[in-house]
Amino acid sequence: MRWISIGLGLAVTGVIGFFAVRELLIDPLYFFELFLGGLTRGSIYALIALGYTMVYGIIQLINFAHGEIYMIGAMTALIVASVLGLWGWNTAVIAILAFVFAIVYSCAYGFTVEKIAYKPLRHAPRLSALISAIGMSLFLQNYVMLAQTPEYLPFRTLIPDFHFWEPYAHIITSVELTIIITTVIVMILLGILIKFTRIGKAMRATAQDKVMAALLGINVNNVISATFVVGSATAAIGGVLIACHVGQINFFIGFLAGLKAFIAAVLGGIGSIPGAVLGSLVLGISESYFTGYFWSEYEDVFAFSILVLILIFRPSGILGKHDAQKV
């Protein structure tokens, strides 16, 4: 069995490698463009997937309302940018304030959602919290639809076309460049937060053993809240960036984005932060190549097929730890 899977894996890798090299030689620019497109998409998935994976790492909950936090971030940025735009403020100031407000609002929502929907259920069966998360997701979607509008809203980009970038704009747009750079910065900051700060240490301790952490004097409730806040902040950044990229938002954008990011998190090994980033990049880049070289009709089918395949051979994801758990 073991030799069969290794052989199969090698065969698949070989076939993919052969086609990749062939396409690279035929049209290197196109190959590279698709790679960058996939990198952008993967970066966005990664910003959202982090929230899923961090929350799962700490309280073993799939926070299905996370996609909605991303949507609320984008909505807030749109409202702030429109109001400040009416007052005629400077574009750079608007962009910064829109980001700040989006992050603050999303964090507030993430924090509140945890307190209302998950904290009372912390000792209930896992399924109850999961249902609560799905309910929260539906609630937030419908709340935004009723409080704002069901229609698509134009989102005028906060990131202008950089003049110095004009010669390369046909390969990768200024917005895409910003997305990739921002994601890298956020990842580095998050790494520092988790590795070197007190709260990061507390998060790791809580993830390993909640009871022991509490016995040692860590306020577990605060750590869990902090995890939701950090996850929401990265989702808000993702929300604003992708809204700048596609130029429109509505109440429903969180669903598909959240679903894809969730797949990415599972792909990389849910609970693992490097895994979420790796899973997102693998998903984004392979989707991009699939659309570019095969048929975009089956892009989602392909994304889910990768998930199924990886879970057959590595049930806990690419970088996941082995322990049998039910979702």
How many Å apart are CA 113 and CA 105, to the nearest integer?
12
The minimum distance between CB 42 and other proteins, in angstroms, equals 10
State how far Cα 137 lies from the chain centre.
Answer: 16
Is position 33 an interface residue for other proteins (rule: CB under 8 A)?
yes
Question: Residue 271: left (phi > 0), alpha (psi -120 to 50), or beta?
Answer: left
Residue choice 78, 106, 245, 302 for contact with other proteins (CB under 8 A)? 245
Cβ nearer to other proteins, comparing 60 with 157: 157
Residue choice 211, 217, 297, 323 for contact with other proteins (CB under 8 A)? 297
Contacting range for other proteins; rule: CB under 8 A; set: 101-109, 191-199, 239-247, 307-315: 239-247
How many Å apart are CA 62 and CA 57, to the nearest integer?
10
Residue choice 82, 148, 221, 291 for contact with other proteins (CB under 8 A)? 291
Site for other proteins in 1-30 (CB under 8 A): 27, 30
Contacting range for other proteins; rule: CB under 8 A; set: 31-39, 212-220, 268-276, 311-319: 31-39
Residue where the block lists tokens 């309910």: 135
How many Å apart are CA 75 and CA 152, to the nearest integer?
11
The minimum distance between CB 90 and other proteins, in angstroms, equals 20
Residue choice 60, 165, 199, 300 for contact with other proteins (CB under 8 A)? 300
Alpha helices in the chain (DSSP H): 2-26, 28-59, 66-86, 91-113, 126-147, 174-196, 198-208, 210-215, 220-246, 253-268, 273-293, 299-313
The minimum distance between CB 151 and other proteins, in angstroms, equals 6
Site for other proteins in 114-173 (CB under 8 A): 150-154, 156, 161, 169-170, 173
DSSP code per residue over 43-56: HHHHHHHHHHHHHH
DSSP code per residue over 215-247: HTT--HHHHHHHHHHHHHHHHHHHHHHHHHHHS
Residue choice 260, 277, 279, 317 for contact with other proteins (CB under 8 A)? 260
Number of residues that bind other proteins (CB under 8 A): 43
Residue choice 103, 107, 203, 242 for contact with other proteins (CB under 8 A)? 242
Is position 68 an interface residue for other proteins (rule: CB under 8 A)?
no
Is position 253 an interface residue for other proteins (rule: CB under 8 A)?
yes
How many Å apart are CA 58 and CA 271, to the nearest integer?
8
Question: In this structure, are residues 313 and 5 in contact, taking their beta carbons and an 8 Å threshold?
Answer: yes
Question: In this structure, are residues 106 and 73 in contact, taking their beta carbons and an 8 Å threshold?
Answer: yes
Cβ nearer to other proteins, comparing 30 with 89: 30
Amino acid at 76: T
Is position 66 an interface residue for other proteins (rule: CB under 8 A)?
no
The minimum distance between CB 263 and other proteins, in angstroms, equals 12
How many Å apart are CA 207 and CA 22, to the nearest integer?
45
Residue choice 256, 304, 305, 315 for contact with other proteins (CB under 8 A)? 256
How many Å apart are CA 84 and CA 4, to the nearest integer?
61
Site for other proteins in 170-229 (CB under 8 A): 170, 173, 175-176
The site for other proteins (CB under 8 A) is made up of: 27, 30, 33-34, 37-38, 40-41, 44-45, 150-154, 156, 161, 169-170, 173, 175-176, 242, 245-248, 250, 252-253, 256-257, 260, 287-289, 291-292, 295-297, 299-300
